[in-house]
Amino acid sequence: MKKTTTRLADGRELIYYDLRDDAVHGEPDPRPLDPVATAAEIRHDRLLGDRVAIASHRQARTYHPPADECPLCPSREGRRSEIPAPDYDVAVFENRFPSLAGDHGRCEVVCFTPDHDASFADLTDAQAALVLAAWTDRTAELSQLPGVEQVFCFENRGAEIGVTLGHPHGQIYAYPFVTPRTARMLDSLAEHRAATGGGNLFDEVVEEELADGRRVVLEGEHWVAFVPYAAHWPYEVHLYPKRRVPDLLALDEAARTEFPQVYLEVLRRFDRIFDEGDGQGERTARTPYIAAWHQAPLRAEHRGDFALHLELFTIRRTSGKLKFLAGSESGMNVFINDVPPEAAAERLREVASK
């Protein structure tokens, strides 16, 4: 992997990650951009203990541009984008419309491929491994920023999720606090440790899923993917390395090598869940999803007890129907799942690649 760091016209950082060591990126950004002006602030909900990012400047962000005006495609003559290079493998840059900025964290965009019409599932093993390397490198770099407490790499895919740019990409948030979801995991981890005299809840969950087998979707030598026992979403898969590590930096070479094979297969199965095709073997629609990496907060007590894992889920519950977060979910955070986890896992096994 070759890493090249440069700056956009408004001063934002841009990093290229290339598979070839002889790749050269010296293209300037000729756009007449004004400096980024953000109004991001973090407010604390004293009743719930949550933190809310207030970011009014995001109202002006780019919204569903036509393909020939995509800001994530490589630049061409007469069409300048956020990426000045005429081609790239993976590119990461500071978001021009960040939810978190300055003393309140940082937001980055990760472009997985220059191909506007592709998706993560279309990447080769080598390309997916490069994305993993970029996630790992950015986690390391962002963890060094003053005030950052947690780094979150994720992908939103599909207009149904709320994605405003169709180009295959993800994001990275560097939070100045520990997120509520992670805090709940840490509390459960601590309670289990105390109740069992030192047992690890993550290890127990993975061991139980492997022993039961009904919800296991895919198992490799170093990774296991399963639908959790109490899945919140219609189709939800958790992907764990079998050797517990707290973050992406701690993955060994064997796990890194196997990750693309396992993850790409799971993503491709997601695209086959609902049998949306044209009868000729071609997909007519892709399954919308969120893919979220859970890493240990930087200064968490017993940090090594946390287990890195990726949670992948779709808001589609059946063909043509979405799972909406209505009264119980949005009002009380009590999820109601229409698809039994065992049935979801069985379906994901049925649509395995031939």
What predicted TM-score, i.e. pTM, was given to this entire model? 0.96
Give the tens place of pLDDT for each residue, 185-211.
Answer: 999 999 999 999 999 999 999 999 999
Q: What is residue 86's three-state secondary structure?
A: coil
Cα–Cα distance between 286 and 156 in angstroms, integer? 12
Q: What is the average pLDDT across 19-29? A: 94
**pLDDT, position 276:** 57
Active-site amino acid positions = 169
Full set of structural domains in the chain with CATH = 2-175 (3.30.428.10), 180-350 (3.30.428.10)
User: Please, are residues 17 and 3 in contact by the beta-carbon 8 Å criterion?
Assistant: yes
User: Please, are residues 287 and 274 in contact by the beta-carbon 8 Å criterion?
Assistant: yes
Cα–Cα distance between 242 and 224 in angstroms, integer? 7
Please tell me what DSSP assigns to residue 129: H
Neighbours of 50 (CB within 10 A): 13
Could you give the percent of the chain with pLDDT greater than 90?
90
**pLDDT, position 36:** 87
